[in-house]
Amino acid sequence: MNNKFLIYSLVGLLSSGAIGGIVLSNSKQAQSLPASGNAQQSRSVRVDRHFIEMMIPHHQDAIVMADLALSRGRRPEIKKIAASIKQAQTREITEMRTWYKQWFGTEVPNHSMTDMGMMGDHHNQGQKKGSGMGTGSGSGMGQGMGQGMMDMKMDIDALKTAKDFDKEFVRQMIPHHQMAVKMAQMASGRATHSEIRTLAESIIKSQNAEIAKMQGWQQAWH
Among candidate residues 216, 210, 201, 219, the one with its CA nearest the CA of residue 177: 210
Closest CA to 59 of 201, 167, 189, 180: 180
Highest mean pLDDT among 6-20, 109-123, 160-174 belongs to 160-174
- R_g (Cα) of the chain, nearest Å: 18
- Pick the residue with more confidence: 94 or 20? 94
- The pLDDT confidence band at residue 152, using thresholds 50, 70 and 90, is low
Q: Which of 5, 158, 173 is nearest to 89 (CA)?
A: 173
How far is residue 138's CA from residue 27's CA, in Å, rounded to a whole number? 26
- Give the pLDDT score at 98: 98
Nearest to 13 by CA among 207, 217, 186, 219: 186
Residue 11's pLDDT is what?
54
Residue 160 has pLDDT above 50, yes or no: yes
Rank 12-21, 108-117, 157-166, 201-210 by mean pLDDT and report only the highest: 201-210
The pLDDT, as a whole number, for residue 89 is 98
pLDDT tens-digit readout, 33-84: 444 445 555 665 789 999 999 999 999 999 999 999 999 999 999 999 999 9
* Distance, CA of 193 to CA of 103 (rounded, Å): 9
Using the predicted structure, report yes or no on whether residue 90 has a pLDDT greater than 90.
Answer: yes
Domains in the chain with CATH codes: 3-16+39-221 (1.20.1260.10)
Q: Which residue type, as a one-letter code, is found at position 209?
A: A
> In a 10 Å sphere around its CB, with 0-12 CB exposed, 13-18 middle and 19+ buried, how is residue 74 labelled?
exposed
Q: pLDDT class for 99, splitting at 50, 70, 90? A: very high
Is residue 107 a contact partner of residue 101, using CB atoms and an 8 Å limit? Answer: yes
pLDDT of residue 179: 95
What share of the chain has pLDDT > 90, as a percent? 57
**CA gap 160, 68 in Å, rounded:** 7
Report d(CA 163, CA 167) in Å as an integer: 9
Instruction: Note whether 122 and 21 are within 8 A (CB).
Output: yes
